[in-house]
Amino acid sequence: MHSHAATAELQQFTTLSRILHWLTAILVFSTLLIGFTMVSSVSDYATLLKIHKTLGVVILAVVIIRVVNRLTHRPPQPPPTVGRFERILIVTSEMALYALLLAQPLVGWAMVSATGRPVVVFGSLRIPRIAPANLDLYWVLRETHSVLAFLLVAVVAAHVSAVLLHSITLRDGMLARMTFRLPRTRSRHANQAGVGEPAAPAASVE
Amino acid sequence: MQNRLTRAFGTGVPLDRRRILLGLAAVGGFLAVDLGAVLYAGGWVAGERLTRQDFIDAFKRVNGSHPGFRRNHAKGVAVAGYFDSNGAGQEFSKAAVLRPGQTPVVGRFSLAGGNPNVADMIDTPRGLALAFGYPGGQQWRTAMLNLPVFLDSSPQGFYDRLVASKISPATGKPDPEATARFLAAHPETARAMTVIKAHPPTSGFGDSTFRSLNAFYFVNESGGRAAVRWSLAPIGQALQPLPRSSGPNALFDDLIRQIGSRPLQWKLLVTLAAPTDPVNDATVAWPAERRVIETGTVTLTSVETEHAGNARDINFDPMVLPDGIEPSDDPLLSARSAVYAASFRLRAGEPKSASAVNVGAVAL
């Protein structure tokens, strides 16, 4: 029953994929947190908004690179602990994340465009508007931006939770596929439940 | 049953209780921090800080609900015209609008207060909002008042004053005890009121001087920064015999008749701060002897009832600035940007009603 797991070599994502993944993670966490803070804020609003818009275009650029990377490089197969049903969940949530990460900055860009004001990022770089100035259009985009933000929080939370459960409870090295330490193959723990020990420090509890 | 589950979820691993608990603890810990951060950041829990929503709620408590209208300066009329720059401002700011030439201008005259049907009164602060170069990439938006100084130096001050201004249904006036408590807590407003009393308002919009009140920085080509406040000083209007309308729209009717008969003009004046002048306190006037640059003339040629697509739908956020103009660290500026954005978002989604100021109904 556990012989596949015992002999499987841990397959990692390519170095570029891993870098892009963590870069996205840092950017998205920051942008979401700044976004939630700024819309309740008064004295910090203006500064946070400038940072938020700049991070947004950076995320858009990074995600476009990621889409190209994803379409040109097949990711490693999931560990054997992932069954049929979960495989479907994984593919769905991956597509949902890509969709959300592309849509959200574009909606933000269009939303600012629809107010008729210039779109300014990186302090003073003015980028073209991508939507006509229209109050009703602005409102739809503004509400959508909020909805997508909440969806992103939910999908990212589900993603992290799933990786944590796999890596810690199932000890299948799920997290290690994306980290920057070489996976240790089965060594001292060969006589225990036969899964290659994940490299992530959080899982090293023995 | 165990086999079907394990095939579907593929655990080829014996699960022991310890690892299940550890995994759940990690997830629980992550979610607590993640969602806790979101709730705290959004102001939904455990915050004593003044939030944007507090202002929106206070406007509603004080003014009632007027869907589709601005939460403050609700009553207004749209105008349009142009700015002729004489180039004198170039020494201090690299903003393209200050080079010699003409830039179109769209704007809005308004009265302070959140009731779009309020009767025009001489003492109500008057607003003039302008967007130079709308809808271009180097727009300059400014929202000015006909006061010599502003009443508050901080967002908290504005909030407290708004709350204290609530009309008591019994007396038709604000609660005098609330007013006294507010002034005791905000001596800067009491000082500002003294200055305001010494500069009584003119008889109407057309001959009012409008001021930025907040300070900004002009940045020139060499990177030099000058702290400035700007104002619009009326040209020639005061010399004309002014029409005198009556009724709840008297001031707006006068304005509409004036622009209907000829364009109205203002000089755009820029006052340079001395190094000792406060740049982040709108309640303190700068001494009259400060150097003033006359940078050009604003001419307003047309007036329109607010409707979809004109100034009704523009958010005159004072933080929308061209290259060459930057905000000061006056806390009111960011607060204005934040609260205007909240008002804009709300009214954008609300059903619209006709403005109380109907240009077509005013006989010229």
**For the segment B297-307, what is each residue's pLDDT rounded down to a tens digit?**
999 999 999 99
Rounded mean pLDDT of B28-43?
91
**Tokens (6 digits) for A108:** 């933000």
Using a CB–CB cutoff of 8 Å, tell me whether B280 touches chain A: no
Those residues whose C-beta lies under 8 Å from the C-beta of residue B162, and which sit 6 or more positions away, are B55, B58, B59, B62
B348–A43 CB contact, under 8 Å: no
- Asked whether residue B1 carries a pLDDT value surpassing 60, the answer given is no
In this complex, is the C-beta atom of A9 within 8 Å of any C-beta atom belonging to chain B? no
Contact between residue A42 and residue B51 where contact means Cβ atoms under 8 Å apart: yes
To test the contact with chain A by mutation, choose from B4, B7, B13, B16 the residue with the greatest count of A C-beta atoms within 10 A, namely B13
Residue A124 has pLDDT above 50, yes or no: yes
Q: What is chain B's length? A: 364
Residues 143-202 of B with CB under 8 A from A: 155
Which residues lie across from B304 on neighbouring strands? B78
Q: How confident is the model at residue A111 (pLDDT cuts 50, 70, 90)?
A: very high
Q: What is the mean pLDDT of residues B223-233?
A: 97
B73 catalytic residue (yes or no): yes
- Whether residue A193 is predicted with pLDDT greater than 70 in this model: the reply is no
Q: Which of A4, A85, A117 sits opposite B320 (nearest CB)?
A: A117
Give the Cα separation of B362 and B364 in Å (integer). 6
* Per-residue pLDDT band at B11 (split at 50, 70, 90): low
Percent of chain B with pLDDT over 90: 88
Tokens standing for residue B283: 């309640």
User: What is the 3 state secondary structure string of B211-240?
Assistant: ECCCCEEEECCCCCEEEEEEEEEEECHHHC
Give a three-class secondary structure readout of B116-156. CCCCCCCCCCEEEEEEECCCCCCCEEEEEECCCCCCCCCHH
B200 CA: distance to closest CA in chain A (Å): 31
Least confident stretch, A142-151, A171-180, B68-77, B217-226: A171-180
Tell me the mean pLDDT in the region B36-55.
Answer: 88
> For B328, phi and psi rounded to 5 degrees?
-85, 180
User: Residue B76 in contact with residue B355, Cβ under 8 Å?
Assistant: yes
Q: Which residues of B touch A39 (CB under 8 A)?
A: 42, 52, 342
Active-site annotation holder among B66, B73, B186, B199: B73
Contact B273, B302 (CB under 8 A): no
Given pLDDT bands bounded at 50, 70 and 90, which one contains residue A147?
very high
Q: Is the per-residue pLDDT at B284 higher than 90?
A: yes
Angle at B111 between CA B105 and CA B114, to 5 degrees: 115
Cβ contact B352:B68 at 8 Å? yes
Per-residue pLDDT for A191 more than 50?
A: no
Average pLDDT over every residue of A43-52: 97
pLDDT at B168 over 80: yes
B88 pLDDT above the threshold of 70: yes
Q: Count CB atoms within 10 A of the CB of residue B15.
A: 14
**Assembly ipTM:** 0.92
Backbone angles phi, psi at B46, to 5 degrees: 45, 40
Q: For A19-53, b where at least 16 C-beta lie within 10 A, e where not — what string?
A: ebbeebeebbeebbbbbbbbbbbbbbbbebbbbbb
What pLDDT, on a 0 to 100 scale, did the predictor assign at position B245?
83
A114 reaches B (C-beta below 8 A): no
Q: How many residues does chain A have?
A: 206
- pLDDT value of residue B363: 80
Residues of A in contact with B214 (CB under 8 A): none
State how far the alpha carbon of A190 is from the alpha carbons of A3, A60, A185, B98, in Å. 12, 44, 9, 76
Interface contact flag, B38 A170, Cβ < 8 Å: no
- In chain A, what percentage of residues exceed pLDDT 90? 76
- Residue B184: pLDDT band with limits 50, 70, 90: very high
pLDDT of residue B243: 61
DSSP, collapsed to helix, strand or coil, labels residue A174 as coil
Separation CA A74–CA B304 (nearest Å): 60
- What is the rounded average pLDDT for all residues in chain B? 94
- Answer yes or no: is pLDDT of B319 > 80: yes
